[in-house]
Amino acid sequence: MLGRHHSAITASVAALILVPLYFIYMTTQQDIYLFVLFAFFISSVIGSLTPDADCGGKSRLYYKYPYVYEFMNYVVTKPVVFLFQLVSDKKIADLEYDVKEEHRGIMHAPIGILITSTFLVIPVLLVMVFTQNFNPIILLTIWLGLLFGQMLHILEDSMTVSGINWAFPFGTKELKGKIYTYDRELDKVDIRPDVFVFIFSIPALVLFFLYALSYITYPFWMVYIVISCYIAVAWFCIYVISSSSSRLWYMDKETVKKIRATARKVGKISDAKTSRSGNTYKSKGKKRYKKKRYDY
């Protein structure tokens, strides 16, 4: 999937999980809940884009901000690949596949994202130690957020035609769908990734307003059980939808462009209102570039 879909789906799932936590903060007024909320949300979104550090800088984020790619390449990708090459050379573990710098290799495997999340919190740990602001709860939250975002990333990529080998590099356990990351036909767009965003974002918004209007009075643990069940069922439905070859999921590109143009206009109106209230910012023009296609 594209980076915007990864970040949007992950942000929607994280928001659905964090809504009750926000109202716990509103009830208790304990700042730790607010810190945990923001730390988990931000780190999960960062994690949603982290696995594509193995794409050679071709993804949108790493193309626009090459210094981010260089950081991810030398702090994450190369060390993880080197670690597994060392394991293979020393015959510490029996690896079925050679680990090298390739797209949807070790960076898109469960063992890889576990190590990657650990590597990424090391700079955070050093900053905490040097500034004498060490907080194990926040550090653990960031680590869990990175792991959560990366896990959703490979789960989302499992819905595409290229799929993911979940047992890499120890074996083969592939999970594939029928979604093409790039347009399979010149005049059609697969709208399923956008549908997946709505599957999680709409319930998150509904849950927020139900809490805000005091319609939910159940204990938080009970709410989280319902949320967990919904997320599990939603992902099962997403897998079923992703396995479909129906033409129902393809929409005319021009129609999609009009919908996106309308969304941008709504965003500009919202930005104008924000600007009048004193919060202004400048948007940078987007550069056009050629993307390397990994899904076929």
Give the pLDDT score at 63: 61
C-alpha 118/C-alpha 151 separation (Å) is: 14
Give the pLDDT score at 218: 87
Cis peptide before 169 (omega within 30 of 0): yes
C-alpha to C-alpha distances, 113 to 13, 150, 151, 152, nearest whole angstrom = 18, 6, 7, 11
- Token pair in block for residue 263: 């969304």
AA letter at 77: T
C-alpha 63/C-alpha 37 separation (Å) is: 29
Regions of the chain with pLDDT less than 70: 56-65, 182-186, 260, 263-296
Q: Other C-beta atoms within 10 Å of 41: how many?
A: 21
Give the pLDDT score at 105: 85
Give the pLDDT score at 288: 44
Q: Which of 236, 53, 24, 47 is nearest to 148 (CA)?
A: 47
Give the pLDDT score at 72: 82
Give the pLDDT score at 61: 65
Q: What share of the chain is helix, strand, coil (3-state, %, to 5)?
A: 65, 5, 30
Give the global pTM.
0.82
